[in-house]
Amino acid sequence: MMALLKSNKLISCLGNMSPSLGCLSSRNSSWWGGVQMGPPDPILGVTEAFKRDTNPKKMNLGVGAYRDDNGKPFVLSCVRKAEAIIAAKQLDKEYLAIGGLGEFSKACAQLALGPENDVLKSGRSITVQTISGTGSLRIGANFLSRFHGGSCDVYLPKPSWGNHTPIFRDAGMKLNAYRYYDQSTCGFDFKGALEDIANIPEQSVILLHACAHNPTGVDPRPEQWKEISEVVKKRNLLVFFDMAYQGFASGDIDRDAWAVRYFLEQGHNILLSQSFAKNMGLYGERVGGFTVVCNDADEAKRVESQLKILIRPIYSNPPMNGARIAATILNNPDLRTLWLEEVHGMANRIIKMREQLVAGLKKEGSTRNWQHVIDQIGMFCFTGLKPEQVERVTKEFSVYMTKDGRISMAGVSSGNVDYLAHAIHAVTK
């Protein structure tokens, strides 16, 4: 009887608790009543506004996906040929290993580090297949959070890709920043970056964009990379490279991987994320890799074992189709040659659009210095437009971009570049 009374008393007490304390006060209450509306994604918001616009000249320069000169999504010929080869083999759909498709992971590492790199020859690195660049970064962040013996601080360039912040934050890392972009020149703040990096606490993690910095398109020159490497080594910092645009930035896979390979030559045991979304156009296939460079082969085996333990409860194993496509292209000499031609063509089209945009601005009568548009590299360009100018160019000309003035050069074509030049000049003169 006493037990029953106590039970009733407990139930009565729980019934008086507020829903805000996590209890349901009535049958009509919701488990998720306290969930607040999250902020909209800034890039997807640009796309939604673009879709609603009825102006036939409208331009969407927000989304980071390549378009051909007709403004259409582009599937590489080498990808179509690889798909045909794979289909003819009538392969099964069994699970991949936790670390992914072995032939892909090997080719992925060779592409980044160089096939004759001593790191690969010595077996002191491990590469696992990941769910594109985002998945690679998150696996890396989780690995750091669990095993990095030093600080949990990670230093990102200011600005950096928007997704870097939640990826590292949600993995339990502490976010910090170092100076990178100089608004006064629309270029690299080399002096500021070196000063900040020289003051980063030892054993912290520093994230570096290997090429085609997102969102600014501003990259260090080789001699600047050398100085950055020296300062990073003096501070005993752990380097995490994000390389999402190898080949797509300059059109040259070796040039775009120069910083990564130089840091390895200088003795940095780096972490590396790779994505094949941009350089092979495999956006929806979600193809990526994560590499850890270790002291020796035994350490690499131990790291591999722990990466598998991290991956298993998240997604068990990665998808196979995109990895098969990428591996077929990288390992087939004819397809690899075709891919190098096509990725060079994509990069050159974007470089050409940069040049034509600047020429168009001069033709419109602009007296401003637009050299930064040409000097920047890769898919994105920081135009230097202020928020109020962005608002005007959208409202008056239906040219859509993010509020910071970043545009995706992939959305610019020979058919609309003059209109874009006219619009930008109108709001900046």
292 CB-near residues (< 8 Å, 6+ apart):
125, 126, 143, 271, 300, 303, 307
* Cis peptide bond upstream of 215, omega within 30: yes
Give the whole-angstrom CA distance, residue 287 versus residue 40: 26
45 CB-near residues (< 8 Å, 6+ apart):
none
Q: Give the chain's largest Cα–Cα span.
A: 93
Retrieve residue 38's tokens. 């999250």
Give the whole-angstrom CA distance, residue 103 versus residue 416: 42
297 CB-near residues (< 8 Å, 6+ apart):
122, 123, 124
Judge whether 278 counts as a catalytic residue: yes
Exposed / middle / buried, residue 109 (Cβ in 10 Å: 0-12, 13-18, 19+): buried
Please compute, for residue 350, the number of CA atoms within 13 A of its CA located in the half-sphere on the CB side: 32
CB atoms inside a 10 Å sphere around CB 5 = 9
Retrieve residue 34's tokens. 């306290």
Q: Is 187 helix (H, G, I), strand (E, B) or coil?
A: strand
Judge whether 370 counts as a catalytic residue: no
Give the whole-angstrom CA distance, residue 324 versus residue 113: 20
Give the whole-angstrom CA distance, residue 342 versus residue 358: 25
Rounded to the nearest 5°, which phi and psi values hold at 320? -95, -30
Q: Which of 161, 225, 339, 370 is an active site residue? A: 161
Q: Which of 81, 278, 339, 370 is an active site residue? A: 278
**Can you tell me which residue has the tokens 């998150």?**
138
Q: Which of 242, 256, 339, 370 is an active site residue? A: 242
Give the whole-angstrom CA distance, residue 227 versus residue 235: 12
Query: Please, what is the Cα angle at 43 between 41 and 44, to 5 degrees?
Result: 65
Q: 96: closest CA among 85, 104, 84?
A: 104
Give the whole-angstrom CA distance, residue 162 versus residue 87: 37
Handedness of CA 212, 214, 215, 221 (dihedral sign): negative
Which residues are tagged catalytic? 161, 242, 278
